[in-house]
Amino acid sequence: MEYPIHHTISKVGLPLIVTSDSPKLCFLVDTGATHNLLFSFVYEHLKDSFTAYREKNFVMGIDGEKKETMQIETELSFGGQNSSALFSVIDSDRAVAQIQSETGIQIHGILGIPFLIDNKWILDFSNLKIKSA
């Protein structure tokens, strides 16, 4: 799989990727994120699409606060390639609203280092592409 990110970087300055399947979900690809995150408003609207785990997790949210989170698993499709991933569900409504206000784009979650490693994704910033090994 090769997924171009030149458009999103030139338009909003962020590496964003959108799922191939419905519902279309937009994720920020964050090489500094130690967890995969799904925002709570997405979870609330699509609960039946996820498998919830009993285990809780603690993460530092994008707003800088430590939060206890629910763990969920889901399958996502990018460029026709399916990927299963574990996510922490966090409430970051203010941060998401600020990003949407500044960029005009609503993001639904963050793909962090665990997703990149598990799916063997490589961010090629020289050519502005995401590649899978």
The Cα–Cα gap between 53 and 71 comes to 5
- Average model confidence (pLDDT) across the chain: 90
E strand spans, 10-133: 16-18, 26-29, 37-39, 51-60, 66-78, 81-90, 109-111, 121-124, 129-132
> What is the CATH number assigned to the segment(s) 20-120?
2.40.70.10
The domain locations on the chain are: 20-120
Backbone angles phi, psi at 81, to 5 degrees: -105, 120
Classify the phi-psi angles of 88: left when phi > 0, otherwise alpha if psi is within -120 to 50, otherwise beta.
beta
Which of 121, 99, 109, 107 is CA-nearest to residue 74?
A: 109
N residues, the chain: 133
Q: Is the whole-model pTM more than 0.85?
A: yes
Q: With beta carbons less than 8 A apart as the criterion, state whether 131 and 122 touch.
A: yes
pLDDT for the residue 62: 65
Is a pLDDT exceeding 90 seen at residue 127? yes
pLDDT in tens, 14-69: 899 999 988 899 999 999 999 999 999 999 999 988 988 877 888 876 667 788 89
